[in-house]
Amino acid sequence: MLKKYIRATSIVAVTAIFIGLVVSCEEDFTDIGTTIVSNGEFTTNDTIFNIEVTAKDIANVRADGLQIGGILGQYLLGVYNNDNYKKIEASIISQLSIPADLTQVDEEYGSDTIVVTTIDTVLLRLPYNATLIGSDAIGPDFQLDSIIGNQTQPFTLNVFRLTTYLSTLDPTNPSIQNTFLSDETYNVSSEKLNFFEDTQFIPNKRDTARFVLRRLSSGIIYDTDTIQYINSNPFISIPLKKDLIKNILFDQYETSNFSTQDAFNEYFRGIKIQAEGDNGSLMSLSFNNNSLQPSVDIYYTNTVLRAGGTIVIDTIKKTDTFLLSGLRNSEYKMTPGQSPAFNKVPIQGAAGSMAQLKILGDDLNGNLIPDGLEELRTKNWLINDATITLYVDQDIVGSDTIATPFNLFIFRDGVTASAEPAPRQILDFVTEGVDEVGGVLDLDDSKRPDSYSFKITDYISELLAGNVTDIPQLGVRVLNPTDLPVSLVDSIVRNYNWSPKAVMLLNNDPINGARRAQLKISYTLKTEDN
């Protein structure tokens, strides 16, 4: 069976090879499945196996960060539309935290005075990921990082008050932690909080300062403050409706709604920053920068007047900052693009798509072991190296290294016969580490995305040794930092992904020629002593 499998593969694969090399008989090799070390005459061979690669849709991913300390780190906002992949409309949901020592008036004044509070400006502030590259006459010059798509085309941005209560505990079973998926439904109030409704937003690397007009109780502008964060990233600054924020937040300071953070979370359940549109750009925003955190800032002035008069005794400028903290979630609205050609497989992060790899054929006899693996186990092979190579469709991807994932991730996917939780780590990530397994994007001589390679030597050796009874298919998806094992005993692959990047790969179809998907195994074949 295996001979036929290899022979057929060799006919259709342009690069199918059997190379025999002489290895010193003084070297020691450990037999697969045993601890016996044998000396003798060995020949080393390389052979290429055909592997079946199919696309698999990703319906949703974890988007709450609860299992990783409540902090996702990166949050997507914006619109990315490429016909070869799903369109992404990414929004952010977050609770707000009450500022410490919240008071509108800090000191007592005489009985003959009154204090009139005027809200000057309310801003929602979100920091960009950016790198300082210099300065000019205008000010610091940044390069915006982690943005894909067309930055010259706007997308629609609105801010809503959340009416869905965000709970850390599962409402149906309060003994376990809650889960928020990327396709979660969030209810919001009908009224938009942003001053300029349906804002047509384009990223701007020069957004490093804002100007706050300070007003007396009479409405007269008496000063202008320049709000600038020195040596910090530029930020998105969205003006909110002053009267609305005054009603739902500012005027509630002295009520029971602000008595505790829990009471506040019940009263004001959070905000949704919603992105919509047909085109635009998609930003990855970092909310873990202690020097510049996302917030809702209320700028106001307390005007101290003589009672019954118009004489201004004093003006006190104040700012109350409500950090976007507590539960912070993402929402990905994914719209399918055009169907890929039969010889192509799209890989896309967020709730996009992945690939499934069948590396050792079908299980035609129904014993839960691929027939190719059964045949391999009859061979006296000592595995030196096993590498999967997946090639990029350069006709689609071209020279784009910005929107193309830098890393892909390989893992055991699918449902196992013993109902083992899946997905699971392959052995190599635990024994060899991420650098050895690879999955890094390789470029060709023209600096175009070319291929991804994964070393799965220990995994193949484990299969041949019979140490794995359940053999699901392998999965390949865009790497997320939480995919990697955190210890030597960690075999779980977590269902997070906040990278929106995508790449089109070539499958195993013969039309792809030398760039078809392949598994290359280098093995040592022990022969009888002469």
Examine the fold and report which residue of 334, 363, 382 is the final residue of a domain before the chain moves on.
Answer: 334
Phi then psi for residue 435, to 5 deg, are: -65, -35
3 state DSSP class of 177: strand
443 and 450 Cβ atoms separated by less than 8 Å: yes
3 state DSSP class of 287: coil
Is residue 35 pLDDT above 60, yes or no?
Answer: no
- Say how far apart CA 505 and CA 397 lie, in whole Å: 9
Are 28 and 125 contained in the same domain?
no
- Say how far apart CA 442 and CA 454 lie, in whole Å: 11
Domain count, the chain: 2
What secondary structure does DSSP assign to 103-150, as a single string? -S--S---TTEEEEEEEEEEEEEEEPPEEEEEE-SSSEEEEE-SEEE-
Tokens describing residue 343: 């010889």
Helices within 252-377 (DSSP H only): 261-267, 371-376
Amino acid letter, residue 3: K
Q: Considering the domain boundaries, does residue 347 fall inside one?
A: no
Are 162 and 225 contained in the same domain?
yes
User: What's the sign of the alpha-carbon dihedral 126, 132, 136, 140?
Assistant: positive
Are 369 and 467 contained in the same domain?
yes
Examine the fold and report which residue of 282, 307, 334 is the final residue of a domain before the chain moves on.
Answer: 334
- Identify the DSSP state of 384: E
Are 403 and 446 contained in the same domain?
yes
45 and 341 Cβ atoms separated by less than 8 Å: no
Are 37 and 109 contained in the same domain?
no
Q: With cut-offs at 50, 70 and 90, classify the pLDDT of residue 13.
A: very low
Q: How many residues does the chain have?
A: 530
400-404, 431-435, 460-464, 483-487: which is most confident: 400-404
Are 290 and 387 contained in the same domain?
no
Are 47 and 103 contained in the same domain?
no
Beta strands in 359-473 (DSSP E): 381-391, 408-412, 438-443, 449-455
Tokens describing residue 217: 């109780």
Quote the domain boundaries for residue 82. Answer: 66-334
Average pLDDT of the residues in 491-520: 94
Q: Considering the domain boundaries, does residue 439 fall inside one?
A: yes
Q: Considering the domain boundaries, does residue 339 fall inside one?
A: no
User: Among candidates 480, 502, 496, 403, which has minimal Cα distance to 86?
Assistant: 502
- Say how far apart CA 306 and CA 128 lie, in whole Å: 45
Amino acid letter, residue 354: M
- Say how far apart CA 355 and CA 294 lie, in whole Å: 36
Q: Considering the domain boundaries, does residue 97 fall inside one?
A: yes
- Residue 63 has a CB neighbour count (10 Å cut-off) of 29
Tokens describing residue 103: 């008071």
Q: With cut-offs at 50, 70 and 90, classify the pLDDT of residue 31.
A: very low
Q: What angle do CA 467, 469, 474 make, to 5 degrees?
A: 95
- Identify the DSSP state of 380: -
120 and 300 Cβ atoms separated by less than 8 Å: yes
Are 47 and 170 contained in the same domain?
no
Q: Considering the domain boundaries, does residue 283 fall inside one?
A: yes
315-319, 373-377, 492-496: which is most confident: 315-319
Q: With cut-offs at 50, 70 and 90, classify the pLDDT of residue 470.
A: low
Residue that wins the pLDDT comparison between 243 and 21: 243
Tokens describing residue 47: 């052979």
3 state DSSP class of 314: strand
Q: What is the pLDDT of residue 23?
A: 27
Task: Please tell me whether the peptide bond between 423 and the residue prior to it is cis, using omega within 30 degrees of 0.
Answer: yes
pLDDT tens-digit map of 367-389: 878 888 888 888 888 899 999 99
Q: Considering the domain boundaries, does residue 341 fall inside one?
A: no
Q: What is the pLDDT of residue 257?
A: 96
User: What's the sign of the alpha-carbon dihedral 481, 484, 489, 491?
Assistant: positive
Tokens describing residue 211: 């100007």
Q: With cut-offs at 50, 70 and 90, classify the pLDDT of residue 214.
A: very high
Instruction: Note the pTM of the prediction, 2 decimals.
Output: 0.86
* Average pLDDT score, the chain: 85
Examine the fold and report which residue of 285, 308, 334 is the final residue of a domain before the chain moves on.
Answer: 334
- Say how far apart CA 242 and CA 272 lie, in whole Å: 18
Residue that wins the pLDDT comparison between 5 and 74: 74
Q: With cut-offs at 50, 70 and 90, classify the pLDDT of residue 222.
A: very high
Q: With cut-offs at 50, 70 and 90, classify the pLDDT of residue 465.
A: confident
- Residue 51 has a CB neighbour count (10 Å cut-off) of 21
Question: How far is CA 34 from its chain centroid?
Answer: 41
pLDDT tens-digit map of 121-142: 999 999 998 888 888 777 777 8
User: Among candidates 272, 279, 339, which has minimal Cα distance to 155?
Assistant: 279
Tokens describing residue 175: 């003994």
Q: Considering the domain boundaries, does residue 445 fall inside one?
A: yes
3 state DSSP class of 354: strand
Q: With cut-offs at 50, 70 and 90, classify the pLDDT of residue 390.
A: very high
- The residues near 128 (Cβ < 8 Å, ≥ 6 apart) are 142, 144, 145, 203, 205, 207, 233, 234, 235, 236, 283, 285
Are 385 and 420 contained in the same domain?
yes
Are 265 and 223 contained in the same domain?
yes
Are 470 and 402 contained in the same domain?
yes
168 and 209 Cβ atoms separated by less than 8 Å: no
pLDDT tens-digit map of 405-446: 999 999 998 655 555 556 889 999 988 988 999 999 999 999
- Identify the DSSP state of 407: B
- Identify the DSSP state of 247: H
Q: Considering the domain boundaries, does residue 342 fall inside one?
A: no
Are 50 and 80 contained in the same domain?
no
Is residue 88 pLDDT above 50, yes or no?
Answer: yes
Is residue 521 pLDDT above 90, yes or no?
Answer: yes
